[in-house]
């Protein structure tokens, strides 16, 4: 079964919009796990507009499943990850002012930088994953830099996905996953996956280890309830 890691950034955004501690992020993480979520993902950004660095530290004490911290490996982020030693760090090349992640790494152009930073994390026993577009050349580059996994950036799949266009939408991701499997890389995925498109993605991307879902899952939960939505995702990921 593909694991579901729930990104709780949107819950932090809601909390921050009013100040105080509602919704309580630590309780939310524990509830998500109790509902069946198999991991908690956070993406602290330099301006702390949703997840705060303090949140990352406090969550470390309560997350009992997999703890995934993603972000651009600027010095402050690197220091945080090395201090907390999460299960996994996912490296994302987003600009400091980016609203959300919008591209994968160029693993050829940034090879030297990525090799060094991945060695740093792996020397501390932290599993590494890097955000990449569904491009076999970038997947080959990921294998060359020594990462444990890739996370396929799935926005283009979500944008193109319809029942009539599903095969065309998923093909680049299947090809990238096949290449990753051949090269010994684990495959994660995330960005704009939702209840409508995730089942087909899971069925057609071989050996998909983990998906990280936040925005869609939280939006769907407003209508359907958090416990119900988590179990709907788990059913589709079996």
pLDDT in tens, 162-178: 978 999 999 999 999 99
List active site positions.
43, 70, 191
Structure tokens at 219: 């939006």
Q: Report pLDDT for 163.
A: 77
Q: Is the CB of residue 233 less than 8 Å from the CB of residue 7? A: no
Mean pLDDT for each consecutive 10-residue tract of the chain (238 residues)? 97 95 97 98 93 97 98 96 98 70 85 97 98 97 98 96 92 98 98 96 98 96 96 96
Q: Report pLDDT for 33.
A: 98
- Among candidate residues 189, 186, 156, the one with its CA nearest the CA of residue 171: 156
Q: Is the CB of residue 102 less than 8 Å from the CB of residue 39? A: no
> How many other β-carbons are positioned within 10 Å of the β-carbon of residue 101?
21
Q: Report pLDDT for 96.
A: 61
pLDDT tens track for 218-227: 999 999 999 9
Q: Report pLDDT for 95.
A: 64
């Amino acid at each position: 079964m593909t694991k579901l890691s729930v990104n709780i950034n949107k819950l932090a955004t809601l909390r921050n919009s009013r100040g105080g501690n509602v919704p309580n992020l630590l309780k939310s993480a524990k509830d998500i796990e109790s509902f069946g979520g198999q991991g908690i993902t956070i993406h602290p950004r330099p301006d702390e507009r949703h997840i705060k660095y303090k949140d990352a530290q406090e969550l470390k004490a309560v997350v009992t499943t997999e703890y995934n911290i993603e972000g651009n490996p600027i010095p402050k982020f690197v220091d945080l990850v090395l201090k907390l030693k999460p299960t996994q760090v996912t490296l994302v090349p987003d600009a400091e002012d980016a609203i959300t992640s919008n591209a994968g790494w160029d693993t050829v152009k940034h090879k030297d930088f990525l090799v060094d930073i991945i060695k740093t994390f792996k020397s501390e026993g932290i599993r590494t994953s890097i955000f990449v577009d569904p491009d076999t050349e970038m997947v080959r580059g990921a294998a060359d830099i020594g990462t444990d996994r890739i996370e396929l950036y799935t926005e283009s799949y979500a944008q193109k996905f319809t029942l009539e266009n599903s095969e065309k939408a998923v093909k680049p991701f299947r090809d990238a996953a096949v290449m990753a499997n051949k090269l010994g890389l684990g495959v994660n995925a995330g960005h704009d996956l939702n209840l409508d498109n995730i089942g087909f993605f899971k069925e057609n991307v071989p050996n998909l280890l983990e998906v990280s879902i936040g925005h869609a899952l939280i939006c769907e939960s407003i209508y359907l309830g958090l416990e119900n939505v988590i179990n709907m995702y788990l059913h589709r990921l079996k």
